[in-house]
Chain A
Amino acid sequence: MSAPIPSDTDVLLANHERLIAASRGSDVEGFASLFSEDAVFMAPNEPTLYGKAEVREWIEEYVQHFKIIALNDTERDVGIRNGWAIERWAYTVAIAPVKGGETDRIRDDGRWLIIWKRETGNTWKIYRVMFNSIRPVGSGTSRFFSRLTQRREE
């Protein structure tokens, strides 16, 4: 594990803030712009997405259904290695279903593990990313989706 690095030498901090801002702002283009063309995106309980175009479609669909109303870091660790970087961050999120429903707010605690690569022009892009929830099955986002699934089966 790499030790956290000071913010003045954290070349990924600006990208990290852009990722959060795009997530909070339902900004599809801003979100997708952070990914490399050959990115692999692994969201929990969903098939793997290959390439920036698929990631863009995923976030486009996501923001049709959900609005992130709060997203705050609880932990962050960055290690830089000669053109590559490993970022691990944990967060607390509040999500509102756009269409409402029996709940107006979903709260979750999660983590992302991101592999960034430096591309031409000294820009950093997400190359591999996976995330999952810290909360037990049946709570957080999974509770919301479980109830949704049960209603569909009834």
Chain B
Amino acid sequence: MSGSSSSANDPVRPVLKRFLDAVKACDAEAVASVFTEDAVLMTPNEPTLYGVQEIKEWWQEYFEYFKVSDFTETERDVTFFDDAAVERWAYVVTIASIKSRETMRDEGRWLGVWKRGPDGAWQIEQAMFNSILPIGSGTSRFLTRVMERNKGL
């Protein structure tokens, strides 16, 4: 068993930065480029996404409605083994609704499995995220209100 979380030898860090920059720039193509062809992404309260095409479509739709205006990392650790890595990181995010201009704040966590390809490039193979904030706050509060409005409540 081999494992380390040395930041000095952290080849996924620059790719993570590219991913976050792409999210902030609402660039679905660049976001998708960080994932393997057969990647699996499990976003909370939504069906599992299989493959980079579905992931790209998800982000395209997301960017039609939301703009991530701020993203701050609060915690991160990475464990490397062979040609893979497990990354866990936590964040505070500020998201603006494009249509209503409402702003929401959330605190979440990401658990990702990275894979190094034959060309040495690191990409995300599986990932899941969820919120730390209680139900009824953060993003879930916003979405609940949207759903209530849609129902005419």
Contacts and interface: CB of A to CB of B under 8 A. Distances in A.
B48 A134 contact: yes
A111 B135 contact: no
Contacts of B135: 45, 137, 142, 145-146, 149
Interface residues of B, number: 41
A133 B44 contact: yes
Contact of B128 (A40, A46, A111, A137): A111
Interface in A103-154: 111, 113, 115, 117-119, 127-138, 142, 145-146, 149-150
Interface residues of A, number: 40
Residue from the set A115, A118, A131 with the largest chain B CB neighbour count within 10 Å? A115
B120 interface: no
B130 interface: yes
Contacts of A111: 42, 48, 128
B93 interface: no
B130 A81 contact: no
Nearest to B37: A1
Contact of A134 (B45, B81, B88): B45
B147 A138 contact: yes
A27 B125 CA distance: 33
A82 to B, nearest CB: 5
B136 A146 contact: yes
A81 B84 CA distance: 8
A45 B143 contact: no
B33 interface: no
A52 interface: no
A83 interface: yes
Contact of B44 (A44, A119, A146): A44
Given A45-B132, A45-B140, A83-B81, A137 B1 contact: no
B74 to A, nearest CB: 10
Interface of A: 1, 40, 42-48, 77, 81-84, 86, 88, 90, 111, 113, 115, 117-119, 127-138, 142, 145-146, 149-150
Given A88-B40, A117-B3, A132-B128, 8 more contacts: A1-B39, A45-B140, A82-B1, A82-B2, A111-B48, A115-B113, A131-B128, A137-B140
Interface of B: 1-3, 36, 38-40, 42-48, 75, 79, 81-82, 84, 86, 88, 90, 109, 111, 113, 125-136, 140, 143-144, 147
26 contacts: A1-B125, A42-B88, A42-B109, A42-B130, A45-B132, A46-B134, A77-B40, A81-B81, A82-B81, A88-B40, A88-B42, A88-B126, A90-B48, A111-B48, A113-B126, A113-B127, A130-B109, A130-B128, A132-B44, A136-B45, A136-B46, A136-B143, A137-B143, A142-B140, A145-B135, A146-B136
